[in-house]
Structure 1
């Protein structure tokens, strides 16, 4: 009995997709699945002389929207794969809308939906064009009413499927493609705009579940997620972290979705677009990667993620800057924390760096014109062992008001011997010049900024202090 049950289970866990396309007698066809804007190949096969090809495998295919790519790769036809995976597709590429899919009730609903939209879609476009070209208020009202009527019919049809078959692949598909609800209130005041934004954000994921892997294999979910994290959610790291943790907690029950989201979020924030968002990447490392929750990553990938996280941990916005205890050109100790000022600009630079040569005089001009009067100090760190050039550049460009320091070779070797992190790791120095802005308590309030951006940040801080 056990043997029979095993054979029964194994047989029906396989997928078998038969394509019959009699207009072809050769060529290679592909079984692909949607993942955002891409079609990823799941299987392929050679079409025989009767126009038939069989895609089969010994594992169940993940549910989602799949697509047949016909020989020549010019034509495609979408269909659903979910629980029923013994499917036959009869297709005439001259009339793909009449394609017949058997063995899957999901595809009956999908084909009915496609035919309905094919009928109603042109009416929507027709009403929209007529509205755009209307020359008087009466015509505008007439065509607007027609547009709303047809649009309502389409939405009612979609909602009936979602309500009647809430667990179906069709419901997943329709919810994924649905645009977020827009508030009806026309904004008049600033608070109205804020309320409208909050409404849009709060309803952005209506109908979308993070508990279902099938959502991933659609054309809609990934672009929707990308837009959400790049354009919709506030770009403050705390807001992003709280949102990510909630969604990843839900997705733990959908392992493929969890894997994709964690990978995408890691890639998105490992080199963030906005200052301070590196805290998101560090959080992802601390809470997920370092806890073994990304076992699919290979050793090299984990090494890259780990190294990058440790480079960012000690220089997050709001954190206390790491101590720098270096020497000036005379060999006298000049610790960073001995420098007293309302603000400190830390500059990592090299006199042989072309960009540094251009930037240092410009920074000094701004320092003399504005920063010095605001009790801003500059702590400049030599990053390469170019001691003679360093001393000469400082003298030639009259940078004597800055505190210039370097790390001796002996200090560096002692650091390595005691297994202490280098200043390059502590300040994420991978190029030059790199500028940090510290407050009077040596907390990081700006990092990897241009001197113009630091100047703007100082003005903001100054204006805020006067309020």
Structure 2
């Protein structure tokens, strides 16, 4: 389904002088129809213009500015549309009998013509692959080996096609778009024999090679690639699969990436926004530190020119609730009052591991989590070096004591801050409960936001 862009401010205005686009279209199967010119932008497709075709199926898309180079679409409806590439030449004609994408005739734009030829080549290659696979199923012996060899030759043919276009049109968008699909693969024959014969070493070699060469054929500073379906999945795959998934491993390459694309404002906006949102929403423990880094460096510093005041305030709020409780930091000290009126200091606890739990009895998750944690984790490990600093987050003492009594939770440290003097809700981000932090002997935060099962496994491994 097509989506329309509403917030015009999302885009950066550019002015072109003495440049225009003039695209004549004739679709023989669509007389007197409304035809739309659509374009790809990251993960979506947007309408740029619409014309009424005449009784011959003829119409013209034109304007007094050039269009962004990218992958475009002639769109009639969900079942009738085809893609074409728009390069530097934007005065040309497109003719086709229908919307099958076959036998499209383009005149006046070399890059668009070459892309149409490529689509035809790719279609033939896919048909050849399907035919050989069918023959392979029915073949045997030497015939099967021959067919397999033919199949193995198809991918190099595709790669050679991309490379030849790059040689023929080295600075064109069509070459940048096609070669961007080529992902380098490690030739294991170049590795030492001991690495080739060791699965672990070979896996590590492939991982390192992919990380080092992932962007070899993809120019991530080329804004034209934003107008294709390629950029978004390429970036997401790099961040979530190519980079090793922990904060210390991703921080430097991510910041270096952002710095490299910073002069390219559209890409800077997309990439920085993507990393900010991905890091704060990540399920990887400790990745919120990357969010804080990006927020401070680009958003709170004023570099994120696209961010509204509302967005900046939201980012600022999330930084405030995250910056004091990152993995590896010394946990903020607290001295809170117990049920009996005594005060307990967090840093004064002498235990190999201290778990901070922040809960409220009416929280549906807390009702299950806290008693289960007590039974499955605290009781088995309290004599092995585990202590619990359990913080009731509300201000109803009767509610609190009823919950403690109901679940028999008086054997660990129970505290509260009736008047919110300590700011623990900010220091330990108590916006969602239950909150869970694991501190080592020196009160350094070593884990957080763990489930009961994960906490049990952590204690089994460390106590």
Q: Is the 8 A contact 1:379 1:405 kept in 2?
A: yes
Instruction: Give the 3 Å change call, closer, same or farther, for CA 353–76 of structure 1 in structure 2.
Output: same
Q: Which residue does 1:451 correspond to in 2?
A: 452
Q: Which residue does 2:251 correspond to in 1?
A: 241
Query: 1:34 aligned to 2:35?
Result: no
CA-based RMSD = 2.3
- Size of the aligned set, in residue pairs, is 443
Q: Residues of 1 paired with 2:82 and 2:377: CA distance?
A: 64
2:264 paired residue among 244, 254, 258: 254
- Mapping of residues 35-434 of structure 1, within 5 Å: 35-70=41-76, 72-93=77-98, 96-136=101-141, 138-184=142-188, 188-367=198-377, 369-409=379-419, 412=420, 422-434=423-435
Q: Is the 8 A contact 2:82 2:100 kept in 1?
A: no
Q: Which residue does 2:5 correspond to in 1?
A: none
Deviation sequence 1:359-415 (CA, Å, 0-9, x none): 322222235542211221110111112211212322343322211111122xx3x56
Structure 1 length-normalised TM: 0.88
Q: Residues of 2 paired with 1:154 and 1:241: CA distance?
A: 36
Q: Residues of 2 paired with 1:43 and 1:32: CA distance?
A: 7
Shift of residue 459, structure 1, vs aligned partner:
2.7
Q: Residues of 2 paired with 1:407 and 1:231: CA distance?
A: 42
Q: Is the 8 A contact 2:32 2:57 kept in 1?
A: yes
Q: Which residue does 1:6 correspond to in 2?
A: none
Richer in helix (by share): 1
Q: Is the 8 A contact 2:221 2:264 kept in 1?
A: yes
Q: Is the 8 A contact 1:351 1:389 kept in 2?
A: yes
Instruction: Give the 3 Å change call, closer, same or farther, for CA 325–201 of structure 1 in structure 2.
Output: same
Unmatched segments (≥5 aa) in structure 1: 1-8, 416-421, 463-467
Instruction: Give the 3 Å change call, closer, same or farther, for CA 372–152 of structure 1 in structure 2.
Output: closer
Shift of residue 423, structure 1, vs aligned partner:
1.8
Instruction: Give the 3 Å change call, closer, same or farther, for CA 149–447 of structure 1 in structure 2.
Output: closer
Structure 2 length-normalised TM: 0.89
1:398 is paired with a residue whose SS is coil
Q: Is the 8 A contact 2:28 2:98 kept in 1?
A: no
Q: Is the 8 A contact 1:349 1:381 kept in 2?
A: yes
Shift of residue 312, structure 1, vs aligned partner:
1.1
Shift of residue 187, structure 1, vs aligned partner:
5.4
Instruction: Give the 3 Å change call, closer, same or farther, for CA 175–306 of structure 1 in structure 2.
Output: farther
1:317 is paired with a residue whose SS is coil
